Amino acid sequence: MAGKVLTGKIDPSRIRLTEIPHLPSEIIEGFRELGDASSAVSDALDYIGVAGAVASSTLISVIPGATLVGHALTLRNMKRNGDIHLAARERNSQTAEVEAHNLAGKDDVLVIQGVAGISNMGGIGAQMGKRQGEVGAIIDGGFRDVADMRRLGYPVWSTERTPLTGKWRIEAVEINGPVTICGIRVNPGDLVVADDTGVCFVPIAHAAEVLEYARKKTAAEQRKSERIAAGASIVELAGGKS
């Protein structure tokens, strides 16, 4: 952890990595050039035999129309035991969202295996994250301060929204270790692609292969769309004889 100044919000032994792996910038930009890419990326994941897609009905975007491409910076939370009201009076927080933002950099996505019914992230954290270079967050669990996220232009995809603070209800277990998001295993550095259709998690080792397939898929669909607009018959489009 040399060179990293930590906030002390979590035991350093619970931080697996202070710097996550990053893909070459041309791969990140390649995915961004695809636009709303989750469908093509999901098809590519099917092709290579990797489960990684989650529907937007499960992970819902707080900013309609937003897209996101970046590297997973992971945080795993669990529900905390003890007297919530005593913890609140004593200001005894065991969350570590701030430490995660502290470790974030350009093109990172905060990916939280969170707690249901409780906020795992709020508006102040989003402001910190955006300043650090984060492009958004994915949360299996709740978050709050919806208006702040929209005002900041910090997109979040989550399973829940709630005003109930996690400060006294959540304990941070680990930063930058493996997490499970809606049944999908995500490792730090994995590629995250999200839009209005859904969220895809691409293992970093497969990112270049997925990009190549997604480009071909997008180009083929564009050609077919142009043929539809030009008046090609359904039989022609289906590959049959006219």
State how far the Cα of 168 lies from the Cα of 162, in Å rounded to an integer.
15
Smallest CA-to-CA distance from 52 within 199, 226, 230 is with: 199
Q: Could you tell me the two tokens for 139?
A: 């949360």
* Residue 144 annotated as lining a ligand binding site: yes
Contact 135, 111 (CB under 8 A): no
Return the closest-CA partner of residue 72 out of 118, 141, 26, 135.
135
Q: How far apart are CA 4 and CA 12, in angstroms?
A: 11
Structure tokens at 31: 């995915």
Residues in the chain: 242
227 annotated as a binding-site residue: no
Asked if 14 contacts 173 with a C-beta cutoff of 8 angstroms, the reply is yes
**Contact, 129 vs 156, CB < 8 A?**
no
3-state secondary structure of 85: helix
Neighbours of 9 (CB within 10 A): 17
What residue numbers does the annotated binding site cover?
Answer: 144-145
What residue numbers does the annotated binding site for Mg(2+) cover?
Answer: 145
What residue numbers does the annotated binding site for substrate cover?
Answer: 144
